[in-house]
Copies of this chain bind each other. A is one copy, B any other.
Amino acid sequence: MGVSIEDVERAAERIAGRVRRTPVLEVRPGVFLKLESTQHTGSFKVRGAFNRVLAAGRLPGAGVIAASGGNHGLAVAHVAGALGVRAEIFVPTVSSPVKVAGLRALGAEVTQTGAVYAEAYEASLKRVAETGALEIHAYDQADVVAGQGTVGLEVLEQTRGVDTVVVAVGGGGLIAGVTAALGGRARVVAVEPELIPTLNRALQEGGPVQVGVAGVGADALGAGRIGEIAYEITSAAGVESVLVSDEAIDEARRELWRSCRIAAEHAGAAALAALRSGAYVPAPGERVAVIVCGANTDPATLL
């Protein structure tokens, strides 16, 4: 179940040319923003989805299946379109018509079922069993994690090395991949909203536990339970877990716009919030990379 540096390097080779090598902006001396917000479909999620599909080799005719009305769903729909395979995306009936339309615009077949995400997910697994399609999990699959980890390899190359990488955590696919990719070459700081402390609680309790989901991160960081792979990798690596308030996230998001004209969703600004709020305080001279992981937001709310 583990993911090694080599797994991430192989993922990088597989997905090269299919994902963007997103740019890095040094906003202050030694503070680097990795603008993964400019990735295809507006988040890092295409990396894991491409790697999962390409690692699977020959796909069943039924194509791929995922459950997500958010960034993961968009990513899977994009990847399927780019590779010319079918995608079925399961979303709960409460999903906004805008999101459903966005998925369909990317060519996916969308099934709205279940009152909440968990029910849509169960329906997607049933459909996988029926059709033999390839399930692409939002975070808890080794190939997905390895794909997300390619962000970490790029950060090391583009910054010529940093001491610390700060990453927002939802289900933990990105932080697990980045931690694996770094392999101890930089410290990893995990940032979660105070209202959704999935990794923080798991590290306290000695294993994944269900937590409440609320606040500005609910949309993109609302897994509610850290993935098994993410727990295993981050706990073994001694990743530092910090929490930030919704206010700090919101301020960081506005600061990204005001100071850099960078659009970020709340989840995309959470990592920066840890620096701005003092939840993580770098030592003098410490070189820090902050991953701006997504920008799927209504731009009218950036000001």
Kindly state whether residue A101 has any CB partner on chain B within 8 Å: no
Report whether A257 and B20 are in contact in the complex, using a CB–CB cutoff of 8 Å: no
Stretch with Cβ within 8 A of B (4 or more), from A34-42, A170-178, A195-203, A232-240: A34-42
Q: Which residue on chain B has the smallest CB distance to residue A303?
A: B299
Report whether A38 and B300 are in contact in the complex, using a CB–CB cutoff of 8 Å: no
Most buried by B among A21, A40, A299: A299
Q: Size of chain A's interface in residues, with CB distance under 8 A?
A: 28
> Which residues of chain B are near A298, meaning CB under 8 Å?
303
Q: Which residue on chain B has the smallest CB distance to residue A40?
A: B259
Stretch with Cβ within 8 A of B (4 or more), from A114-122, A129-137, A148-156, A260-268: A260-268
Report whether B263 and A261 are in contact in the complex, using a CB–CB cutoff of 8 Å: yes
> Which residues of chain B are near A17, meaning CB under 8 Å?
29
In A222-270, the 8 Å CB interface with B consists of: 257, 259-263
Kindly state whether residue A23 has any CB partner on chain B within 8 Å: yes
> Which residues of chain B are near A279, meaning CB under 8 Å?
none
In A39-72, the 8 Å CB interface with B consists of: 40, 42
Kindly state whether residue A24 has any CB partner on chain B within 8 Å: yes
Kindly state whether residue A211 has any CB partner on chain B within 8 Å: no
Copies in the complex: 2
**Residue of B259, B261, B299 touching A300 (CB-CB under 8 A):** B299
> Which residues of chain B are near A23, meaning CB under 8 Å?
23-25, 35
- Complex Cα distance, B257 from A38, in Å, reads 9
Chain A residues in the interface with B (C-beta under 8 A): 17, 20-27, 29, 35, 37-38, 40, 42, 257, 259-263, 295-296, 298-300, 302-303
Task: A257-B299, A261-B263, A261-B295 are known; give 9 further A-B pairs, CB within 8 A.
Answer: A23-B35, A25-B38, A257-B263, A263-B263, A298-B303, A299-B299, A299-B302, A299-B303, A300-B303
Q: List 17 A-B contacts (CB under 8 A).
A: A17-B29, A20-B25, A20-B26, A21-B26, A23-B23, A23-B35, A25-B35, A25-B38, A37-B261, A38-B261, A38-B262, A261-B296, A263-B299, A299-B300, A299-B302, A299-B303, A300-B303
